[in-house]
Structure 1
């Protein structure tokens, strides 16, 4: 087993007034060549958007883009004609593929919206752009792993063009559970949303990240009540990027 630990206060940070953003991996003006990605996981941004503000229309291509609101409502519009509001307890996935433009705004005029924006390289380029959004609150599990993303349209949660599986873990203090990887050659990036946890001897605090690869399974333990996001992704970049 190989591991890497990213303490929360080592992340990149940009405060634009309307946007307060923390970057786990290199992004925009945060350039850290030791933290470009974790396998095909390219971006993990922890964003807070001010009341009524947001990202104007901008382009993407050849990227799977996942948004997970942590509080508040995020309004999405794109060049496919999609106009949706993503709320806490939901997840959105968008395949940029051959090219797409989209915008994201805080729908609320009286409160901030906090959300994770995650980018994953797809297994192949030039796929047809698509949009997917689902509630994850209805299938919420306590003290177990709840799958919220996979490569399979018929599975729980949203799906993307990559052999990736995301799970939420909402554990009570003292609960521990073994995570078994879905595919050989994948790794898991563990990101603590709330509370404290432990993997092996590594203590994890809120917004810490911990990557694990060359392993078939590991045990996650909550040392306090905790909410944790596990992102299992291939560690090898797709051929079109090499």
Structure 2
């Protein structure tokens, strides 16, 4: 645990400590307990329940399966992912894209890598909603490199502001890219917590060096300083246990 001059508390989570699964067509690293990886002390962080770092081989994928009362999105890092669901949606998301489902009262969907050869690399993320049994929804969004080079782009929010996708979770989620002298300051001054996941690359957060797959949990009041980056792409979760 890193303690700063403020009352901000920061815990570094090493990517090497994640749970792992290998089904041949799927290789996955689990930041929180999932499937056969179980740690009763690592079930979630506030309302962030799942971060799975998935590599899906060509023509591999998940057949139709159900979800309910989770906010689920795929964050594409490489390749493509084809989606179909019982709401009638059918689409393909590519590198730099977000594919989102608010599953509410229940929905079934499938996800496949449409390429016969090239793997798909994505983060699948689940948030716990503040309201249950809502009407299911599906949306897509392309991230903007201009809006996130050395900055944070809000792409998922509790109120759908600034062109972001609205989620039923009490959460705002940002994507950012940092390199060289880029620096981002993120302030914590309310009842919310912050989780930063390094999707790839390297950077420092309040002096701690993080690499691909690493993360930090932050609670309290104070400033997170993100800098000294080398090709870093991050996801920042501003989380609350309250609606």
TM-score by length of 1: 0.92
Q: CA RMSD in A?
A: 1.6
Counterpart CA distance in 2 for 1:37 and 1:231 is 13
Counterpart CA distance in 2 for 1:138 and 1:12 is 31
Contact 1:173 1:226 in 2 (8 A): no
- Residue 186 in structure 1 maps to residue 162 in structure 2: no
Post-superposition shift, 1:132? 1.0
Q: Secondary structure at the match of 2:147?
A: coil
Counterpart CA distance in 1 for 2:79 and 2:230 is 25
Describe the superposition over 1:203-238 as per-residue Cα deviations: whole angstroms up to 9, x where unpaired.
Answer: 11111011111125321113323211111111x377
In the TM superposition, 1:168-183 aligns within 5 A as 168-181=175-188
Counterpart CA distance in 2 for 1:76 and 1:110 is 18
Counterpart CA distance in 2 for 1:4 and 1:141 is 25
CA shift in 2, pair 1:141/1:223, >3 Å: closer
Q: Which moved more, 1:215-224 or 1:101-110?
A: 215-224
Q: How many residues align?
A: 236
Counterpart CA distance in 2 for 1:97 and 1:44 is 19
Counterpart CA distance in 2 for 1:184 and 1:66 is 26
Partner of residue 88, structure 1:
95
Contact 1:40 1:237 in 2 (8 A): no
Counterpart CA distance in 1 for 2:79 and 2:125 is 18
Q: Secondary structure at the match of 1:146?
A: strand
Q: Secondary structure at the match of 1:134?
A: strand
Q: Which moved more, 1:137-146 or 1:84-93?
A: 137-146
Partner of residue 215, structure 2:
209
Q: Secondary structure at the match of 2:230?
A: coil
TM-score by length of 2: 0.92
Partner of residue 239, structure 2:
233
Contact 1:8 1:207 in 2 (8 A): yes
Unaligned residue ranges in structure 2 (runs of 5+): 1-7
CA shift in 2, pair 1:139/1:196, >3 Å: closer
Describe the superposition over 1:111-168 as per-residue Cα deviations: whole angstroms up to 9, x where unpaired.
Answer: 1001110000000110100001111136533111111211123423322112211111
Contact 2:202 2:231 in 1 (8 A): yes
Partner of residue 26, structure 1:
33
- Residue 45 in structure 1 maps to residue 56 in structure 2: no
In the TM superposition, 1:1-242 aligns within 5 A as 1-137=8-144, 140-181=147-188, 184-234=190-240, 236=241
Counterpart CA distance in 1 for 2:141 and 2:17 is 32
